[in-house]
Amino acid sequence: MKEKDLQANEAQENTMNINADENAAGTNLLNDNIEESETDKLLSELNEQKDKYLRLAAEFDNFRKRTSKEKLDLIQTAGKDVITALLDVLDDIDRAENQLNSNADFTLQKEGVQLVFNKVRSTLQSRGLKVLESFHTDFDTEKHEAISEIPAPTEELKGKVLDEIVKGYYLNDKLIRFAKVVVGK
């Protein structure tokens, strides 16, 4: 019996043990294939991300160039509407100049010039220009530039604008020119 057991053990040892390390060479091939496929997959994802990044960078560069061109165009044509609106006024000024040279009646010339001035004012106001009212208001460094100070005639006019040398203007409610004023002290 011992001999039979011994032979059975040998037979069992001779049969292939699929869990043994010496048989792992076959699984290495499978592991290598799995690692290669994971590596290929990761490289593919990396290449996709690089491609997306390059496309995004190119798209941003095109956006930057386009907006800079649009900004330049806007700056070059920003005053076009105002200039076009003032061309009618320029025609009126030319007619007034011709009247001044040909007519001796100054009342008609004065009325013509007044009409031109009113047309200029209304054209600019329609484009958003508004006069900054300064006379007898409190002096404000955010709106006024003091040219000089003079003694105030009354106590309530101290610190107020007594005279306006140059008018201030708003364009669409944004101050575009300070009023140059004389302030009472």
* Average pLDDT estimate for 56-77: 91
Name the class of domain 128-185.
mainly beta
pLDDT(162) > 80: yes
pLDDT: which is higher, 82 or 153:
153
As a whole number, mean pLDDT of residues 133-152 equals: 94
What average pLDDT does the structure give for the chain?
A: 83
The larger pLDDT score, comparing residue 54 to residue 23, is at 54
The confidence band for 107, taking pLDDT boundaries of 50, 70 and 90, is confident
Average pLDDT over residues 2-12: 60
Question: Mean pLDDT, to the nearest integer, of 123-147?
Answer: 92
What ranges do the domains of the chain cover?
26-78, 79-127, 128-185
Q: What is the pLDDT of residue 94?
A: 82
Q: 23-60 b/e with 16+ CB inside 10 Å = b?
A: eeeeeeeeeeeeeeeeeeeeeeeeeeeeeeeeeeeeee
Q: Mean pLDDT across the stretch 92-109?
A: 78
For residues 120 and 60, which has the higher predicted lDDT (pLDDT)? 60
Give the pLDDT score at 146: 95
**In this predicted model, what pLDDT tens digit does every residue of 31-51 receive, in sequence order?**
667 778 889 999 999 999 999
**pTM of the complete model:** 0.55
3-state secondary structure the chain: CHHHHHHHHHHHHHCCCCCCHHHCHHHHHHHHHHHHHHHHHHHHHHHHHHHHHHHHHHHHHHHHHHHHHHHHHHHHHCCHHHHHHHHHHHHHHHHHHHHHHHCCCHHHHHHHHHHHHHHHHHHHHHCCEEEECCCCCECCCCCEEEEEEECCCCHHHCCEEEEEEECEEEECCEEEECEEEEEEC
